[in-house]
Amino acid sequence: MPEPAVPPTPPVPLAALLAREDLALRQIAGPAGPGVVLHGAHTSEMADPYPYLLGGELLLTAGVHIPDAAGADPDAAGRAGPGPAEHLEAYVSRIVAAGGAALGFGLAPVHDTVPGALVAACEAHGLPLLEVPPRTTFSAVARAVWQLLERARTAELRRVTEAQQSLATAASRPDPVPSVLRQLARRVAGRAVLYGPEGTELAGAGATSAADAPLAELARLLLTRASATAGDTAPDGTHLAAYALGAGRGFVLGVAAPRRDPGDHTIASVAAVLLSLLTGEHQSGPGAARSSALVRLLLGAAPAEVAPLLGGERWLVVHARPDTQVLAPLAASALGAALGSPLVDLGHDVVRVLLPADRAPRPQPGWTLGVSAETAPADWPAADAQAARALARARATRTALVRHAAGSGLLGLLPEEEARAHARAVLAPVEASPAGAALLETLRTWLSLHGSWDRTAVALSVHRNTVRQRIARCAALLGTDLDDPDVRMELWFSLGQR
């Protein structure tokens, strides 16, 4: 007979139901105490209720299927077929086999008293038996059970939510791993241990006990399996659980608790995810390489020198803005994951992603993207500017993704230094003005959008009158007519050399 499956919801003690004075229930057989719990209520007059029970229910019956003689002579025999006592023995055994938690017997209209053979059978099988008085309906009993269950679920949800918040706060502390372990141990009223790749204890929180050795053994066993979790019970009755952190990294979270509440697994799973992030980022090869690259940059190394640690020689810079949602760290991380790069920077109003050139980005739902040309690490700053301009153009034209176009054309006929010198000379009056950077960026965007005031305003997130004023200022500083196509062509050429 398979073990009955009990619903994974917080149960309620049978004692809580018996304490309801409005129901006037009375237990007349079977065990009592905090260990007897209910997961639901079900009414049935079937002679064999087994097929209709999930496990953990209070089964309510008026005894329609019970022979009349069952109450008079529990040991009646000599009849054709099973006697009343045998019938009730089989009935109770089937309830127990189905995982029924208790039996409620309603007085009237069928039986005036609870049959003695039923009392004896429940006592023999350890099934709590409740007497339901005539004035109490089965609907009232069932409703009381569901009310108690709902309160238990609400309390458990509150407990899990508070635990998740406290674990997240612990993960942000200067000593995140010990803090998460301490918080987890407190929440499950037990012990939490982080084991290393060899199954050795790296950090722990909570009082040590005789369950420490079995917990360590369970962690080592999990390291040899492909599964992500494992559970066991220590000789002293302590509940043990182990959680693999990440894929193949060799870290295991072990939890030992004196009891196993429904929310404990959820709480421990949240802790396991946090510890996976805390241990995985610095221990994995890519994470260690990124940390090394950052340190070298901070210590003065050139970008070209650290780029091999990041996994590429040619790179793209992507600028992105969300179409509707608020810009948040979680959304930025999700975008980086979708583009295939962990190198994400969340700015005030834009997300910047650095990714190898072989991972050409595609449009992302809910985002507007601007992508630079392929570049070497030494030219990352220039690529950053290209991506910013591409994003501005994408937003102005309401296009999901715009790539920087760096065609050569006639520019290839000119020496690079001469072209740059000419560009500096042409743009010098604007660049030297107090608001030179803003004026040049407005001029560039305005020219790229064929002189559209509205689109330029959208691209720069300014009012269209601001665009008009800036363009007029550029024309005045340059002393030229910006409506002249030749003038526009020369300015566009010069801006391309900056």
Beta bridge partner(s), residue 355: 316
Name the fold adopted by 172-283: Beta-Lactamase (3.30.450)
Is 377:354 a contact under the CB 8 Å cutoff?
Answer: no
Buried-exposed string 288-316: b where 16+ CB fall within 10 A, e elsewhere: eebeebeeeeeeeeebeebbebbbbeebb
Whole-number pLDDT of residue 328: 66
Cα angle 69-74-78, degrees, rounded to a multiple of 5: 75
Q: Does CATH number 1.10.238 belong to domain 314-406?
A: no
Helix (H) or strand (E) holding 42: strand 40-43
C-alpha–C-alpha distance, residues 23 and 27, integer Å:
12
Is 189:242 a contact under the CB 8 Å cutoff?
Answer: no
Whole-number pLDDT of residue 280: 60
Q: Which CATH class is domain 410-496?
A: mainly alpha
Q: Which CATH architecture group holds 12-149?
A: 3-Layer(aba) Sandwich (3.40)
What are the residue ranges in the chain where pLDDT is below 50?
1-7, 71-81, 281-284, 408-413
- What DSSP string describes 382-405? HHHHHHHHHHHHHHHTT-SEEE--
Number of neighbours of residue 68 by Cβ within 10 angstroms: 11
Domain boundaries, the chain: 12-149, 172-283, 314-406, 410-496
**Interhelix angle for 264-283 vs 138-171, to 10°?**
20
Instruction: Provide the 8-state DSSP code for 284.
Output: S
Number of neighbours of residue 326 by Cβ within 10 angstroms: 6
Length of the chain: 498
Dihedral pair phi/psi, residue 216, rounded to 5°: -65, -40
Let me know if the fold of 12-149 is the same as that of 410-496.
no
DSSP helix/strand/coil, 198: coil
Long-range Cβ contact pairs of 402-407 (< 8 A, separation 24 or more): 402/369, 402/370, 402/371, 403/370, 403/371, 403/372, 403/373, 404/370, 404/371, 404/372, 404/373, 405/373, 406/373
Residue found under tokens 């919801």: 9
DSSP helix/strand/coil, 319: strand
Q: ω before 109 within 30° of 0 (cis)?
A: yes
Beta strand spans in 201-347 (E): 201-205, 229-233, 239-245, 251-257, 315-322, 344-346
Residue-wise pLDDT for 258-271, tens only, equals 988 878 888 998 89
C-alpha–C-alpha distance, residues 492 and 440, integer Å:
11
C-alpha–C-alpha distance, residues 394 and 352, integer Å:
15
**Does the CA dihedral 280-251-271-156 come out positive or negative?**
positive
- What DSSP string describes 354-378? EEETTS-----TTEEEEEPPPB-GG
DSSP helix/strand/coil, 174: coil
Residue-wise pLDDT for 285-296, tens only, equals 566 677 777 777
Whole-number pLDDT of residue 203: 86
- The closest of 428, 426, 453, 432 to 442, measured between CA atoms, is 453
> How many angstroms separate the Cα of 312 from the Cα of each of 298, 360, 403?
20, 13, 20
Whole-number pLDDT of residue 416: 61
**Interhelix angle for 436-448 vs 485-496, to 10°?**
120
C-alpha–C-alpha distance, residues 417 and 395, integer Å:
33
pTM of the model: 0.48
- The closest of 237, 327, 336 to 286, measured between CA atoms, is 336
